[in-house]
Amino acid sequence: MPTRVRKAVFPVAGLGTRLLPATKSIPKEMVTIVDRPLIQYAVDEAREAGIEQLIFVTGRGKSALVDYFDQAFELEATLRDKGKGLEILAPSNAKFGEVVTVRQQRPLGLGHAVWCARHIVGDEPFAVLLPDELMLGQPGCLAQMVEAYDRVGGNLVAALEVPDSETHKYGVIDPGTSDGRLTEIRGMVEKPAPGTAPSNLMLPGRYILQPEVMNALDAQETGAGGEIQLTDAIAKLIRSQPVHAYRFEGERYDCGSAAGFVIANLAVALQREDVAPTVKAFLSR
């Protein structure tokens, strides 16, 4: 049996420039989809998948992320005084030791952000979740991936089919044989030039990786965009470890863009029994 995945890395040091000016003073991971910040959705997804330790790779101006998962004693006292329950705050109260933070001092790419967590990850397999990629499914995307990982081990990346005209925006896999939702990966390309992508299966920001990926990242080699790319490090593992893509069952929303953010709010609102009737009435007008 593969070693159980207990730790998850959340690269949350980015500046969120696509959502300016909102993200000038608010971390993009703290913008809300209906009434929960993006980071809460990602943490809920990780907890559902059995993750026990949440590793936040933060940067300057990101203290609100850590504060959010701390206890707010004054707020809780006020709610009690007003006779209101505290259940609404339960998901945002982390257990003692559940949240660990490490600083990415320079924005050198996703691969570098993951590498910053190497000492906390240690010699265990770990997950990586990009919070601005909102993944909605039953069960969640990472829980689906963990179930597949328990069967095949190795390294897994979530995969999503996109139009050929959009492959140049993403990391794309070179697929091998498929078995249900699992596809063997023969290679990976980060943001291929238009018309050169080996497939239309992109990587939407969920990974289960073996600790050896940190050795590949040690070289600090730059790739597309002059950044240290996680996909380049995973591609090196293909020579020695199994790497599969998992086509998850659910919906993905790119909340790092203004349009994706608005669409995600509508999609989530329409799934909420307490919100959907009002939203549907407004849309019908």
- Biggest CA-to-CA distance, the chain: 62
Entry pTM: 0.93
276-284 helix and 258-269 helix, angle to the nearest 10 degrees? 120
Residue 145, classed as helix, strand or coil, is helix
Query: What's the CA gap between 21 and 15, in Å, rounded?
Result: 11
Spans in the chain with pLDDT lower than 70: 1
Q: 265-274 burial string, b = 16+ CB within 10 Å, else e?
A: beebbeeeee
How confident is the model at residue 1, as a pLDDT? 65
pLDDT for the residue 208: 96
Burial 35-58 (b: 16+ CB within 10 A, else e): eebbbbbbbebbbebebebbbbbb
In this structure, are residues 112 and 208 in contact, taking their beta carbons and an 8 Å threshold? Answer: no
Domains defined along the chain, listed by start: 7-284 (3.90.550.10)
What pLDDT is recorded for position 38?
A: 95
